[in-house]
Each structure stands twice: as structure tokens, then as C-alpha cells.
Amino acid sequence: MNTTPIDKPVRYYDQVYYSLREKIVQGVLQPGDSVYEARIARELNISRSPVREAVRALEKEGLLVIDGKSKITVYKPTMKDFEDIYECRIALESLAARLTTRLASEKELEEIEKSVVNPTPFLEGEEGRKELIDKNGYFHELIIQYSQNRRLMKQLRDLNSLSLYYRTLNFQGENREWKVYNEHKEVIEQMLRRDEDKASLMMKKHLETDLHHLREIFSRK
């Protein structure tokens, strides 16, 4: 007898978590904005338990801050924060590029190459830009994944949410998407040549350029 798989309902926790995370990363919820568990639960017509669970998860990731009086606010980025994060990313992702160049199969390298997309189709509207930022992140995620180093993956996964937040800021500026695109192409070209040293160096330079760009953005705030 043929059976049709039953879709599992999405948990309330997941809905709240991803909704809040998206609003923070996209700037709908601004740095320093207050977040009220009771209000969210009331608006969604659910109990406070899954809301509280989602808030604690986002606090652990660094996107929400809970003070000594249990007041919940959206993370307010500082120059020191993003410099610390990018210093970690530069060290870890340049190593990931080296390892993936050495260890990835031809099929895996081809998948990384295909993730480097021409920005042109994504330049119209907010949804297009969001998709482009997601694809930019996917390029980095594949390189990390195919490094085959579980410890390295864990270290970068712990930085994931704040890295995503800064990745969104990083796309601000005229022709910024083309600069990112060209730098990604330089990385994958060296990986396809199986040149570990140059692939690692190109990734390091790419992230250092991101860091310099973010410093300029913050200096204007």
C-alpha cells in the first residue's frame, strides 16, 4: 500500500527562534531594542515557554542580551566585537581553505565553485539582496564543511549567528557585492589548482578586506 508521508508541524520554539533571528539580522529589530516575551507570546497566541526557550538560545548565540534585571535587548554591535570575531574567522577560515584544497573531492570543489554566483540577478529588491547574502554565506559554509576538521567546524559554528549579522552589514556600500564575488572567485580558482598556500592566502585577504570595510562602516556611525 502506498502511503504519503505526514508533514511534521513546525515547533513553536523553531518558529519564534527563526522569526526573531531573521528580524535581528535583517535590522527589523534594531540594536538596543527591547524584546518582551509576554508580548511575543500574546501576539502569536502561544505560551511563554517556547518564547523563553528561543530567547535563551539567541542570548547564547549573542544576538540578544539579558541584563541583571532580566531586561531583554537586541545585541548592540561594537567595533571591538566585530574585530574579535573577524580575527577568529581569518585564522580559522584560512585554515579551512587550506584543508579543503587538500582534502575535498573534485565533486566537492565543483559544488563550491557553483556556489559563487553572479550578483546581477539578485540586485533588485530586499529579497534578492537577502538571497545573495545567503549564497555568500553558503560559499563559506561549504569550505568549512569540506575541511573535514570537526573541531574547526565547531569553533566557527559558535560564531555563526554574529557572523551572519556582520555579513549583512558587510554588503552595504556601492558595488560591494561585486568585490565579494571577485574575491570568492580568486579563492576557488586557487582551490581548483590545489594550491593550498594561495587558497589560504586568498581567503585571509578576503576576510581582511571584509574587516577593513566593516571598520569604515562603523567609523561613520
Q: What percent of the chain has pLDDT over 90?
A: 58
Q: Are residues 97 and 200 in the same domain?
A: yes
Identify the DSSP state of 26. T
Task: Decide: helix, strand or coil at residue 46.
Answer: coil
- Helix 196-219 to helix 176-192 angle (10° resolution) is 170
CATH code, domain with 70: 1.10.10.10
Q: Are residues 99 and 187 in the same domain?
A: yes
Residues 104 and 187 in one domain: yes
Residue 132 near residue 117, CB atoms below 8 Å: yes
**Gap between the Cα atoms of 168 and 26, Å rounded:** 7
Residue type for 199, please? A
Q: Report whether pLDDT(126) > 70.
A: yes
Report which secondary-structure segment, H or E, holds 162.
helix 160-170
Retrieve residue 172's grid coordinates. Answer: 552595504
Give the confidence band of 12 by pLDDT, cuts at 50, 70, 90. confident
Task: Kindly state whether residue 123 falls inside one of the protein's structural domains.
Answer: yes
Is 131 in the same domain as 31? no
Q: Is the pLDDT of residue 150 over 90?
A: yes
Q: Give per-residue pLDDT as tens, 76-115.
A: 888 898 899 999 999 999 999 999 999 999 999 999 999 9
Q: What is the pLDDT of residues 177-190, one digit of tens each?
A: 999 999 999 999 99
Do 120 and 100 share a structural domain? yes
Distance CA 172, CA 174 (A): 7
Residue 207 binned pLDDT confidence (cut-offs 50, 70, 90): very high
The answer to whether residue 174 is domain-embedded is yes
Residue range of the domain that includes 46: 12-74
pLDDT at 114: 95
- The closest alpha carbon to 157, from 68, 88, 82, belongs to 88
Q: Is residue 197 part of a domain?
A: yes
The pTM of this model reads: 0.82
In the predicted model, is pLDDT for residue 39 greater than 70? yes
**C-alpha span between 67 and 84 (Å, rounded):** 22
Give the per-residue pLDDT at 51: 93
Query: Do 34 and 91 have their domain in common?
Result: no
- 30 is a domain residue: yes
Averaged pLDDT for residues 166-170: 82
CATH number at 111 reads 1.20.120.530
Final residue of a domain: which of 74, 95, 122?
74
- Asked if residue 116 and residue 172 are part of one domain, the reply reads yes
Where residue 6 falls among pLDDT bands split at 50, 70, 90?
very low
Provide the number of structural domains found in the chain: 2
Same structural domain, 96 and 200: yes
pLDDT value for 10: 67
- pLDDT-above-70 percentage for the chain: 95
- Is residue 5 one of the residues assigned to a domain? no
SS3 content of the chain, % helix, strand, coil (to 5): 70, 5, 25
Please determine, for residue 1, whether its predicted confidence score (pLDDT) is greater than 50: no
